Amino acid sequence: MLSDNIRREPGGSLYFADHSISALAKRYGTPLYLMDENRIRENCRMYLRSFAENFGDNALPLYASKAASFKQIYRIMAQEGMGVDAVSPGEIHTAVAAGFPPERIFYHGDGKTEADIRFALDRGVGTFVVDNETELLRLEHEAARRGIRQKILLRVTPGIDPHSYEAVNTGTVDVKFGRPIETGQALAFCRLALNCGSLELRGLHCHVGSQVFDEDVFERTIDIMVGFMALLKRDLGYETKELNVGGGYGVRYLESDRDIDIPARIRIVAERLRLRCAEAGLPLPFFLMEPGRSIVADAGMTVYTVVSVKKIPGYKQYVTVDGGMGDNPRYCLYHAAYTVLHAGRTGEETMFDLVGRCCESGDILQPGIPLPGDTAPGELVAVCTTGAYNYAMASNYNRFGRPPVIMLTPEGSYCAVRRETISDVSALDF
Ligand SMILES: *Cc1c(COP(=O)(O)O)cnc(C)c1O
């Protein structure tokens, strides 16, 4: 099986986190997002343990909560001792309302409005990751007005293409986020920040990409970032206290995807950071990473009921389910790959396109997947590894309500987000 929290009984029934899929579907209905709570906790502890082993107290992993944001996830993060990233007032509000300590929230985003900035300051958000000069000056103004000194990191772009093994160091100089090191704009950005009396520049942030498998992406990032830290020391006399290298470790969506040994990778990153800082004569900064996908993706599964089957002789076959792009837009957005399993049985397989019930030919959950050839309406199918960027990206397109999020534990199951009803869907209309 793709992940060790998925198994099939000899009779063919599928289990996730030791729970029968058919029993869960009967109890909660479909479509249904399932989350394996222990897996989320284990993934957090894997990061916490390897951070402690490699950096002692001088590091903190942050959960990038855009991957899956609802109150219970922030409670779990608080209990596990993680920090979190948030990118909107909605995420900040959800975290704080769930009791997450605001001083451990890092606030991201390239389009923070004045209202957003005031909202985050009102909530006591610990660190702003400032994207650009406009935001910097707005925040300085607002912090000065309040008589506080706000902690900030500055987002810079190291110019690394995380998806090519050959270092193409200009690959992402042109992204919308942050200020590029290569053009000198990052240096000017830091100079400006150091002149802001109501802001405390703690250090630097960068994020090179997502679903990263390449071996040395973070080492190359460290090389460039420590090089820039040395430049800051030389040109501005500024010593970087915190270095945040973002998120991005990839997860397995298909059997053919590689498995990343994250603790081994972190050990290598830590060695590289120590080496480069020693060479540059810089003290080791407080180290941060922001995993999102690798914390929650393999903790998730989505369960659907087959509504209809269409076979076009000589062409293709479709299985239509009671969900679709509204609960998982990732294939539509960027052809994301998923493993799909029949939840009730095995059988001689043929190829189907798994499609949703939205009024779009493009409403495809996954094309070309093997399922028992006689798959029939009323049976259940499961899409694996949907814990990240599924519920978080869900919409009400065609006015379908979003599925509930059901947490699974060894003791039982409970609802973390309830199913949206038809009246929820029209609740805002006058
Ligand atoms: C999306 C994002 C992350 C998380 O990335 P994953 O690939 O989910 O680990 C972390 N930091 C920033 C700034 C991001 O935009």
Domain of residue 184, CATH code: 3.20.20.10
Q: Which residues contact 93 (CB under 8 A, 6 or more apart)?
A: 119, 123
| Alpha carbons 4 and 426: distance in angstroms, whole number | 40
In one-letter notation, the amino acid at residue 404 is: P
Tokens of 189: 């950005």
CA of 247 relative to ligand 1 center, distance in Å = 4
Ligand 1 probe mutation, 290, 293, 333, most atoms within 8 A of CB: 290
What pLDDT does 165 receive?
43
β-strand 340-342 against 349-355: which pairing, if any? unpaired
Ligand 1 probe mutation, 88, 207, 212, 288, most atoms within 8 A of CB: 207
Looking at 275, 291, 307, which one is the last position of a domain? 291
Same domain, residue pair 120 and 260: yes
Same domain, residue pair 279 and 359: no
**Is 430 part of a structural domain of the chain?**
no
Same domain, residue pair 204 and 270: yes
β-strand 32-36 against 317-321: which pairing, if any? unpaired
Does 205 sit in the ligand 1 pocket, CB within 6 Å?
Answer: no
Which ranges of 245-318 would DSSP assign to H, the alpha helix?
A: 262-280, 293-296
Same domain, residue pair 172 and 264: yes
**Is 66 part of a structural domain of the chain?**
no
Burial of 356 (0-12, 13-18, 19+ CB in 10 A): buried
If you write DSSP's letter for every residue of 168-221 in order, what string do you get? -TTTTTTSSSSEESTTSHHHHHHHHHHT-TTEEEEEEE----SSB--TTHHHHH
Residue 126's H or E segment, with its range, is none
Same domain, residue pair 256 and 119: yes
Does 207 sit in the ligand 1 pocket, CB within 6 Å?
Answer: yes
If you write DSSP's letter for every residue of 14-68 in order, what string do you get? EEETTEEHHHHHHHH-SSEEEEEHHHHHHHHHHHHHHHHHHHTTSEEEEEEGGGS
Least Cα distance to 88 among 101, 105, 73 occurs for 105
Residue appearing with tokens 């810089």: 282
Residue 238's H or E segment, with its range, is none
Residue 112 DSSP SS3: coil
Q: Of 190, 196, 277, 359, which residue is the catalytic one?
A: 359
Q: Is-contact 269 55, C-beta < 8 A? A: no
Sign of CA dihedral 273, 274, 279, 283: positive
Q: Is-contact 40 76, C-beta < 8 A? A: yes
How many structural domains comprise the chain? 2
DSSP 259: P
Tokens of 29: 């209905």
CA of 423 relative to ligand 1 center, distance in Å = 34
Same domain, residue pair 242 and 343: no
Burial of 399 (0-12, 13-18, 19+ CB in 10 A): exposed
Ligand 1 probe mutation, 40, 65, 69, 85, most atoms within 8 A of CB: 85
Query: What is the CATH classification number for the domain harbouring 320?
Result: 2.40.37.10
Looking at 266, 291, 316, which one is the last position of a domain? 291
Model pTM score: 0.96
Looking at 276, 291, 306, which one is the last position of a domain? 291
Atom of ligand 1 nearest to the CA of 292: 8
**Is 334 part of a structural domain of the chain?**
yes
**Is 56 part of a structural domain of the chain?**
no
Q: Is-contact 286 59, C-beta < 8 A? A: yes
Same domain, residue pair 378 and 273: no
Does 210 sit in the ligand 1 pocket, CB within 6 Å?
Answer: yes
**Is 93 part of a structural domain of the chain?**
no
Tokens of 74: 């922030």
Same domain, residue pair 271 and 308: no
CA–centroid distance for 34 within its chain? 17
What pLDDT does 166 receive?
42
**Is 75 part of a structural domain of the chain?**
no
Does 178 sit in the ligand 1 pocket, CB within 6 Å?
Answer: no
Does 247 sit in the ligand 1 pocket, CB within 6 Å?
Answer: yes
| Alpha carbons 191 and 38: distance in angstroms, whole number | 45
**Is 160 part of a structural domain of the chain?**
yes
Atom of ligand 1 nearest to the CA of 290: 10
Q: Is-contact 401 424, C-beta < 8 A? A: yes
Tokens of 361: 């030919």
Does 209 sit in the ligand 1 pocket, CB within 6 Å?
Answer: no
Does 265 sit in the ligand 1 pocket, CB within 6 Å?
Answer: no
Same domain, residue pair 361 and 395: yes
Does 290 sit in the ligand 1 pocket, CB within 6 Å?
Answer: yes
Hey, whose CA ends up nearest to atom 2 of ligand 1? Answer: 247
Annotated active-site residue 359? The verdict is yes
Atom of ligand 1 nearest to the CA of 249: 9
The three-point CA angle 333-335-339 to 5° equals: 120
Same domain, residue pair 232 and 317: no
CA–centroid distance for 279 within its chain? 33
Does 83 sit in the ligand 1 pocket, CB within 6 Å?
Answer: no
Strand order in the sheet with 19-20: 6-8, 14-16, 19-20
b/e sequence 195-227, b meaning 16+ C-beta within 10 Å:
ebebbebbbbbbbbbbbbbbeebbbbbbbbbbe
Same domain, residue pair 279 and 303: no
Question: pLDDT means per 10 residues in the chain (430 residues)?
Answer: 95 97 98 98 98 98 98 98 98 98 98 98 98 98 98 94 52 81 96 98 94 88 97 98 95 94 97 98 98 98 98 96 98 96 96 97 97 98 98 97 98 98 97
Atom of ligand 1 nearest to the CA of 293: 8
Q: Is-contact 230 236, C-beta < 8 A? A: no
CA distances from 264 to 215, 256, 269, 273 (A): 11, 21, 9, 14
Domain housing 119:
108-291
Does 155 sit in the ligand 1 pocket, CB within 6 Å?
Answer: no
**Is 251 part of a structural domain of the chain?**
yes
Same domain, residue pair 322 and 186: no
Q: Is-contact 362 353, C-beta < 8 A? A: no
Report the 10 Å Cβ neighbour count for 327.
Answer: 27
Atom of ligand 1 nearest to the CA of 211: 7
